[in-house]
Amino acid sequence: MLSPLASAISRGGKGISGVVRKAPGSVRCYSVQKQIDEFKAESEQLLKEIKTNIQPGVDFKTAIPKESQEIISHYKELYTSVAGPGATTLSSNPASFHKKPERVQQILKDYKTNIHQTYVKFLEKNPIEDVQPGVARMTSCLEAEEFPVTEPVRVCITGAAGAIGYSLAYRIASGGLFGPKTPIILQLLELPQAQNALKGVEMELLDCAFPTLQKVIITDSPEKAFENVDYAFLVGAQPRTKGMERGDLLMKNAEIFATQGKALNVAAKGADTRVLVVGNPANTNALIASHHARSIPKSNFIAMTRLDHNRALAQVAEKAKVPLSAISRVIIWGNHSATQFPDLSHAFIGEELALNVVKDDWYKKDFIPAVQQRGAKIIDARGASSAASAASSAMDTVFDWHFGTNAQWISAAVHSNGEYGVTPGLYYSYPVVFNDRREWDIVRNLPIDLFSAEKMELTHKELLSERDAVSKLLA
């Protein structure tokens, strides 16, 4: 039988991180800061009591009964799920404990009760669906001083002096992606003519004095930028400007991404490198880059459609007058373009089917075109393509890729093996679920009605035409 805390944890998935990843929206960190702080303070006090009441030389594990070991085990899992791979909790070194072992059982009993009550109180104040992604990773550790610093994560951002890259660099360097206990090495790539601007980015990053930022490398060499990277954000591309069609971007960017794919093949970690393609046309750029990066599995490339996914969530939330966290199972199928298919036929608003709330007429006549044309509307309004929202969506994608989605669906353009009739080899946006091993799986066997099938095939055909247009780079 699970202990009270174990039961509480299991309700939300795997610890607090299982709870926070349940919500589909972007990072929200401070709305539950007070509850997290209380949780941390009470836990730290009890842990302090435990440590001061075990005699020197007593083995920690044997001094604690099985039931109490279980609560410590679940507390370890809770912390590890927040802090990420490699994190540990509650040192087992007997030299770090002293005084009276006979008090341990009672202390642990109090600890278990306290943590359970605090956790339940936290969930009562912040229902699972209202807790936004990033709460745990930003407030992080319950007793931070006890945990070893994890190995640095090497992150490359191409086009790092551009609007999206600039936004990404600061958020990642601050610990906003991998947590406040994970050192970051940023490897920033820009064109030779943009090196002065990139130097300015480097100086600003250093001036921020982020504790998590271990090192900044700036370069115009793709091989140097991709050296031993864990994650690469391929942002740099010829931007889409007012009046420019997506087709105009194809050949302008195809050679850029072929070059970057070759550099990744030579310099990156291979199977341990994950690559998110943000620069448009993202799906086809991912196809080209992955083709030339033979040392990296094709499943380690993703083209970003999370921006479209987030746009879809925003449209539904506004229409239904509900919080973003109430909406689940929205899907973006196909290409990150005006042919994409934002699908609500499997979506829920709370416990109710979305199409029972927002109605079919709005869905087909207003919602689909609004999501498809959102990027163009932003360009019309500000004279430049999406930047802050694109950076935020890139962060969302890699956060889910790194930590997992706790069985929640998100949209990502991944390598097709023929799922839903899509030509194998294309990067097509599907509903996917990420596990905690940095792997994704497509949600399968969804019923597809005729309307949806036609929309899915339209965007499929566009991707085939894009592939054919750059075929010389895929030989």
End-to-end CA distance of the chain: 58
Give the span between the Cα atoms of 231 and 238, in whole angstroms.
21
- Give 157's strand partners: 188, 233
282: Cα within 13 Å, side-chain hemisphere = 30
Residues in contact with 344: Cβ distance below 8 Å, sequence separation at least 6, in sequence order: 312, 316, 330, 354, 355, 358, 363, 367
Give the contacts of 453 (CB within 8 A, at least 6 positions apart): none
**Residue 238 φ/ψ, nearest 5 degrees:** -60, 120
Active site residue 116: no
- Report helix, strand or coil for 415: strand
- Say which DSSP state 111 is in: H
Q: Hey, is 274 helix, strand or coil?
A: strand
What is the rounded distance in angstroms from the CA atom of residue 219 to the CA atom of residue 160? 10
Side chain identity, residue 59: D
Six-digit token pair at 209?
A: 């004095």
Q: Which residue has the tokens 């009993």?
A: 109
Q: Is the dihedral of CA 142, 148, 149, 151 positive or negative?
A: negative
Q: Cα 43 from chain centroid?
A: 28
Tokens coding 53: 């009441």
Torsions phi, psi for 189 (to 5 deg): -115, 135
Counting other chains too, the contacts that 316-321 makes at CB distance below 8 Å and 24 or more residues apart are: 316/344, 316/347, 316/349, 316/354, 316/358, 316/367, 319/358, 319/362, 319/367, 320/349, 320/354, 320/357, 320/358
Q: 431 forms bridges with which residues in the sheet?
A: 411
Cα–Cα distance, 146 to 96 (Å, whole number) = 11
Smallest Cα–Cα separation from 248: which of 261, 262, 238? 238
Q: Choosing from 116, 291, 309, 336, which is the catalytic residue? A: 336
60: number of Cβ within 10 Å: 20
Task: Tell me: cis bond preceding 281? Omega within 30 of 0 counts.
Answer: yes
How would you classify the pairing of strands 274-277 and 231-234? parallel
CA distance 429 to 422: 10
Distance CA 86, CA 137 (A): 15
- List active site positions: 336
